[in-house]
Amino acid sequence: MGQFEDMSTFVRIIEAGSISRAADQLSVAKSAVSRRLVDLEGRLGVQLLSRTTRKSNLTEIGQIYYQHALQILDDVNELNNTTSNSKSALEGGLKVAVPLSFGLLHLTPVINTFAKEHPDITIHLDFADRQIDLIEEGFDLAIRIAELKDSNYIARKLTTIKRVLCASPDYLRRASHPKTPKDLKTHDILHYDNSPTSFWAFTEPGAKEIRINLPTKISANNGDYLCEAAVAGFGIVVLPTFVAWQEIEKGRLVHVMPKFTLPTLNAYAIYPQTRHLSKRVRAFIDFLVESYSGEPYWDKCLEAS
């Protein structure tokens, strides 16, 4: 086994988080991965990882070697692509974690277009709203809609996500239109379980933020379900416009209290700080940023509010 292969294995160990997980990702025995690491350290004459019975950590020289190894491996891959194809076609694997509703509703056509333009790239998509550990699970990047607090990731903004308070016309005829956030205390509330807060926050033009905790009639961890529950007349719900837009345009949902705005979120493409991006990952992120530039088409539902 050559130094290049040992270097590649070392990088996989760091990105996977452990020798055993790297072995699983490479579909080889754990002992084989350990041997490659020992051979690499022996060839270099330094210790790259300080290993205990519970975990392994990069040594200072190991961190330096890791950063340079990332660059070398990416340069070799790009050189191979350039020399094997005069058009420098992008190839290789791309593993992406995407949020369920946003992914199915709005990312799918963009990803399909990218796949058609780059047929030599193999794409693996994980549709889920769970917070995936990109390094541990071997993902190249993730699309997240959130307030980012993890400094271990680098983020590129794709678009702003607006949220609206809405309910069905039938429900509002039965329960009346709330005029202020305080009026919501007498209404049936549908709540998104994965929300970072238990309260709803509203801002009136030129006023301070109003926070209100409300008893919940129905809660769920899926926005599409809550949208359908609201259409069916079960209560009032806060939804991102990318979920509610078509129902608002069809008149099946009504934008409630439009003068009171809800906090916005952002959709990001994120990737680990420690990872040197391959050409294909950079191209994919650039494609996403370009695709979502300008005002989102789903926000046009707010124009008549």
Tokens at 25, concatenated: 């990702």
Bigger pLDDT: 244 or 90? 244
Is residue 302 included in any domain, yes or no? Answer: no
Is residue 304 included in any domain, yes or no? Answer: no
Residue 100 and residue 76 in one domain: no
pTM of the full structure: 0.72
Q: Is the pLDDT of residue 128 over 90?
A: no
d(CA 142, CA 204): 34
Q: What is the pLDDT of residues 177-233, one digit of tens each?
A: 999 999 999 999 999 987 767 789 999 877 888 999 999 999 999 999 999 999 999
Q: What is the pLDDT of residues 46-84, one digit of tens each?
A: 888 887 656 678 888 888 888 788 778 777 766 666 565
Residue type, 138: G
Tokens at 202, concatenated: 């509203």
Contact between 204 and 210 under an 8 Å Cβ cutoff? The reply is: yes
Residue 170 and residue 236 in one domain: yes
135 confidence band (pLDDT: 50, 70, 90): confident
Total structural domains within the chain? 3
Residue 149 and residue 272 in one domain: yes
Q: For residue 102, what is the domain's CATH number?
A: 3.40.190.10
pLDDT at 13: 85
Is residue 245 included in any domain, yes or no? Answer: yes
Residues spanned by the domain of 238: 163-255
Q: Which of 16-20, 144-148, 186-190 has the highest mean pLDDT?
A: 186-190
Tokens at 68, concatenated: 């340079």
Give the mean model confidence (pLDDT) for residues 163-168: 96
Q: Which of 39-43, 63-67, 78-82, 280-284 has the highest mean pLDDT?
A: 280-284
pLDDT at 86: 44
* Contact residues for 116 (Cβ-Cβ < 8 A; gap 6+): none
Exposure b/e, 156-192, CB count within 10 A at least 16 = b: eebbebbbbbbbbeebbeebeebeebeebeebbbbbb
Residue 217 and residue 175 in one domain: yes
User: Pairing relation of β-strands 49-51 and 56-58?
Assistant: antiparallel
Q: Identify the bridge partners of residue 190 per DSSP, sorted by sequence position.
A: 218, 237
Q: How far is CA 290 from CA 159, 169, 226, in A?
A: 10, 37, 30
Residue 170 and residue 240 in one domain: yes
Percent of the chain with pLDDT over 70: 91
Give the mean model confidence (pLDDT) for residues 151-168: 92
Residue 104 and residue 250 in one domain: no
Q: For residue 47, what is the domain's CATH number?
A: 1.10.10.10
DSSP string, 109-121: HHHHHHHHH-TTE
The mean pLDDT of the chain is 87
